[in-house]
Structure 1
Amino acid sequence: MTFVPKDVVFLPESTAAFPDRWVAMNVFARTAFGLSGEIFRLLGTLESDPAAGGDGPFRCWRVEYFSNEDGLLADPSRYRRAPEDWQELSLDRSALIAELKKHCILIDDEVAYRERFKPKRNLLDRERFGNFHQQHGQHMALTRRKDPADWWMRQKFTADQLSVRSDTLYGAIQSKFLERYTQERIGAGTLVVDLGCGTGVYSNLMASRGASVLGIDPNEAYLTVARTNAAPGTRFETMNIGQAGALDRIPTASADIVFMSDALLFYFVPFYPGQAADIGVLLKDIRRILKPGGSFVSLEPHGAFYLMPWLGAVDRPFVVVTEYLNKTFGIVPPLSQLIREVTQAGFAVTDMREIVPADYFENVDPRGHHFASEFPLWHLFEFRSLADPA
Structure 2
Amino acid sequence: MPFCNVGTQLPSPVADVPLNNDIKIFYRTYGGGPTKVLLIIGLAATHEAWGPQIKGLTGATVPDDVVWSEEEGNGGIHVCAFDNRGVGRSSVPVEKSEFSTKIMAKDAIALLDHLGWKKAHVFGHSMGAMIACKVAAMVPDRVLSLALLNVTGGGFQCFPKLDQQTISVAYRFLKAKTPEQRAAVDLDTHYSQEYLEEYVGTDKRRAILYQQYVKGISTTGMQSNYGFDGQLNACWAHKMTETEIEVIKSAGFLVSVIHGRHDIIAQIYYAKRLAEKLHPVARMVDLHGGHLVSHERSEEVNQALFDLIKASKVNMSPHDWTNLPKKESWWKEKRVLIRTNIQAGSNVSLNCCMLEKLHLFLLYLFGLLVLAFEYGRKLLGSLKPAQAGGSPSYIESQ
The normalised TM-score by structure 2 is: 0.22
Larger Rg: 1
The normalised TM-score by structure 1 is: 0.22
Which is richer in strand?
1
Which is richer in helix?
2
